[in-house]
Chain A
Amino acid sequence: MKFNKLLAVGATILFSAGALAGCGGSSSAKAPADTVRVMSKDVIATMDTSTNTDTIGSQAASNTMEGLYRYEGKDIKPGIATKVVKPSADGLTYTFPLRKTSWSNGDPVTANDFVYAWRRTVDPKTKSQYAYIYEGIANAKEISEGKKPVDSLGVKAIDKHTLQVTLDQPIPYFNELLTSSFYFPQNQKTVDKWGKKYGTNSKTLVFNGPYKLINWNGPDNTWTEVKNDKYWNAKNVKVKKLQYQVVKDPSTALNLYQSNKLDDIVISGDTAKQMRGSKGFNSRQMNSTFYIEMNQKKQPVFKNEKIRQAIALSIDRPQLTKQILGDGSTPANSVTPKDMSFDPSNKSKDFVDETSASGNKYTKYDPKKAKKLWKQGLAETGNNGKKFNFVLLSDDTDAAKKQSEFLQNQLEKLPGMKVTLSNVPFKTRLSRSTSGDFDMVVTAWNADFPDPINFLTLLTSNASYNRGGWSNSQFDSLVDKSMGADANNPQARWQDMKDAQNILNDQQGVVPLYQLGEAHMTQTRVKNLEISPNGSYNMVSLRIHNK
């Protein structure tokens, strides 16, 4: 039995080693007084604002860089520009006076930093996937297609602190666009010095924003941002340090939150359902909606508006968002998201509220009315009593599968309707949508900039994203008018877009399902962690109220 004794001794040593090592790890978990610890859903892919493609990168850029403007709540406030600029009478020229401030390396921030950064983004050599965001600025499209030289871009440094931008056509939402990280300036000296390495780790960066990124080596799971004392508005930055930690597993996030290791976490699925209603739970609306496109080319019956309205009416959206998704998403009565765009003369009037009369007509669950309209639609199209088998195309994530099953269950209550589910990977869904290989597809759109036109242009007759093929000439002409004749008249343009949205709502050209939400748990000591209409958090207004 000697051997067994040895085993016992070995095991004891192992366990006590483990216990000893553990002593270092335990703590009473008191939150640092001047630091906010935030969970990030993913790593920063790049800090180069010219090549960034995701919200994590935009957030890190918003925290560490300053563009012409910055969102404060729902309002656009001056950043490097000293005021929010109105365009010339023809809507084509913007002249920005810039404030005197400096980069973290001491260089002054000049108009040329903007000219340099913008040219670099549209230059095909930079390989920016978001160069198209610049379309509308003079020659941007031609430059990004390699047809014109880079220096023909409509942006000019009048002097060291005056920037002038010329547009091809009026862009009514240009000031909103300018809040996005794609329009941030870059310090030419630094970019030239590091070349391809620029933005791949924190050593290759200089900052002109509220925070400086430190200890970031590229694909790291953690990074730190410390207050930048050279930031022009540094006196209003009250939180000294932001600490980011990538967490992918919702239950890990919750464990970290409940042990007071993180101040703000994102949760989803069962974890979100379980925490709903508890202290610290909150959900934030994204500028992203999910909707069903119905393929009129493949199934001509979808050309009938009553058929589409019947489909819209047979879906119980509150049940979908609460019971099935549970991630903070909210029922949508419009493809245009809520809390994103507001009446130019009255910020309290949300675009979606303004069009909710038509929006609510067919998006409130009403199976009786649905059946009635369905039968009428079938009669009108000469399909009385006919049986239909539709393929519902969607993604293959867990949530998407559950959602498809729910929709199948709801839609099959329409007499004669059978729904076959096809859950495929994202890329396959896209290619099948584009090639028209579907009857119905659940599509999502995430705003590139906070303006309803971003969503309305998806559904004009010749839009490449209009895969269902819904077409309405009045809708088309209203969208055109808002971008052409009325582009310089904010109020008339607002009315055009509302009218267009009302037509879309009445016709149910696409069937809106829900607006994407993100469920969070936030420690009560953290205040003003609010998402801006452009999808980023403004960390300048972030506060800590320690008890």
Chain B
Amino acid sequence: MLKYILKRLGYMILTLFIVASITFFMMKLMPGTPFSNQDKLSAAQLKIMNEQYGLNKPIWQQYLIYLGNLLHGDFGTSFQFSNQPVLSLITSRLKPSLLIGSQAMIIGSLLGILLGAVAAINKNNWIDSLATFVSIVGISVPSFVLGVLLQFFIAFKWHMFPIAGFDNWQASVLPSLALAVSPLAQTARFMRTEMVDVLNSDYIELSKAKGNTRWQTVVKHTLRNSLIPVITILGPLTANILTGSLVVENIFSIPGIGEQFVKSIMTNDYPTIMGLTIFYALMFMVMLLITDILYSLIDPRIRLTNDKEEN
């Protein structure tokens, strides 16, 4: 297991290097400059600014300098926020995004699994139809529409939660709920399909024949076996939430990271683009690693290393 994780970490570093390199060169192809008032700078002034930031050097040189700094843990300073280190920009704006994102994932996946399971057990009766209806609505209604509705009714009309801001934990509830709906619906659908399959398998029959109650059968055999495919989608779903929280963060005025990423690209803020791309790539890979490890914990048939008979 440890060997496997180390190997995966090695691949991760390699992948990060490739991602960083490709992003660096693609980013330099974008038109414009990182200077917010570029329309007011004359050619001479632009030249001086470029010299000061080392942007006049050939791109391969800039690339090597960047990589060199990166190895020392220096992500550079932002252009939008003058002199603000990219690393502190990311860490300070990441916390709210992480809190909301992880709350959304926990609420979404747990309720989704529950909903899917209930639907599968009650296959083809009204509870199943209701659950299917809920998940279809969840998939079709975008999180920002739900966000606006939650804000208007729950916060504005009924004063149950703050309208916007990030002053306390309560403020994170509505944005988390808005973001939770998509993973909820997706996991519910996966769970239902998978569980219906599992419920039809022979070992379930056997379990019933052994005299186990329905409840025992579900918990001991069905749930665990149905979870494997569900875990597969949790990784990508988490990444989706973290990168796609921008609109919901704007609706609830959450000082999150989603918007900074978009803004850094719009403003050619090179160090921030690089920092956030590397960060997102890392996060995605860690999520994949975690799901792979979870597989082996849930299903002993799946081996992470090929030191046994299986490949």
Taking Cβ atoms with an 8 Å cutoff, the residues of A that contact B are 2-4, 7, 10, 18-19, 21-22, 24-27, 43, 45-46, 48, 51-54, 124-125, 127, 129-132, 144-146, 196-200, 217-222, 245-249, 251-252, 255-256, 258-259, 261, 425-428, 430-431, 448, 464-465
Contacts and interface: CB of A to CB of B under 8 A. Distances in A.
Contacts of A46: 81-84
Contacts of B52: 124-125, 127
20 contacts: A3-B218, A21-B161, A22-B154, A24-B168, A43-B81, A45-B81, A45-B82, A46-B84, A129-B37, A132-B40, A218-B92, A219-B260, A221-B166, A249-B250, A251-B148, A251-B152, A427-B30, A427-B31, A448-B40, A465-B39
Interface in B64-95: 77, 80-84, 88-89, 92-93
B151 A252 contact: yes
Nearest to B114: A7
A220 B93 CA distance: 8
B11 interface: no
Interface in B239-290: 250-255, 259-260, 266, 268
A38 to B, nearest CB: 14
Contact of B156 (A130, A198, A258): A258
B156 A430 contact: no
B38 interface: yes
A259 B156 contact: yes
B160 A427 contact: no
Contacts, number: 169
Contacts of B215: 2-3
Given A144-B45, A427-B268, A218 B82 contact: no
B83 A196 contact: yes
B163 A129 contact: no
Given A21-B173, A218-B88, A252-B251, A428 B42 contact: no
B132 to A, nearest CB: 16
B137 interface: no
Nearest to A126: B52
B169 A53 contact: no
Interface residues of B, number: 67
B163 A124 contact: no
Contacts of B117: 3
B34 to A, nearest CB: 10
B44 interface: yes
A259 B160 CA distance: 13
A145 B84 contact: no
B232 interface: no
Given A145-B44, A221-B166, A22 B160 contact: yes
Contacts of B139: none
A246 B263 CA distance: 15
B201 to A, nearest CB: 19
Given A132-B42, A252-B163, A220 B255 contact: yes
Contacts of A465: 39
Nearest to A21: B170
B165 interface: yes
Interface in B23-45: 30-32, 35-42, 44-45
Contacts of B16: none
Given A127-B49, A220-B255, A430 B32 contact: yes
Contacts of A43: 81, 255
A26 B266 CA distance: 38
A145 B162 contact: no
A252 B253 contact: yes
Contacts of B163: 252, 255-256, 259, 261
Nearest to B44: A145
B84 A129 contact: no
Contacts of B82: 45-46, 48, 51-53, 127, 199
A197 B89 CA distance: 13
Contacts of B151: 252, 255
B84 A221 contact: no
B53 interface: yes
Contact of B252 (A252, A448, A464): A252
B298 interface: no
B164 A25 contact: no
Contact of B170 (A25, A129, A259): A25
A7 B118 contact: yes
A459 to B, nearest CB: 15
A24 B171 CA distance: 10
B83 A255 contact: no
Interface centre among A4, A25, A130, A146 (most CB of B within 10 A): A25
A427 B169 CA distance: 39
Contact of A129 (B41, B92, B171): B41
B159 interface: yes
B255 A464 contact: no
Interface string B143-156: 00000100110111
Contact of A199 (B39, B83, B171): B83
A464 B156 CA distance: 50
A147 B163 CA distance: 54
A86 B132 CA distance: 78
A249 B247 CA distance: 9
A197 B165 contact: no
B170 A22 contact: yes
Contact of B253 (A26, A127, A246): A246
Instruction: Please list the 7 inter-chain residue pairs (A to B) with the smallest Cβ-Cβ separation, ordered nearest first.
Output: A427-B32, A22-B160, A26-B159, A221-B255, A51-B82, A46-B82, A248-B250
B48 interface: yes
A266 B36 CA distance: 22
B164 A247 contact: yes
Contacts of A129: 35-37, 41, 49
A219 B41 contact: no
Contact of A10 (B84, B92, B114, B214): B114
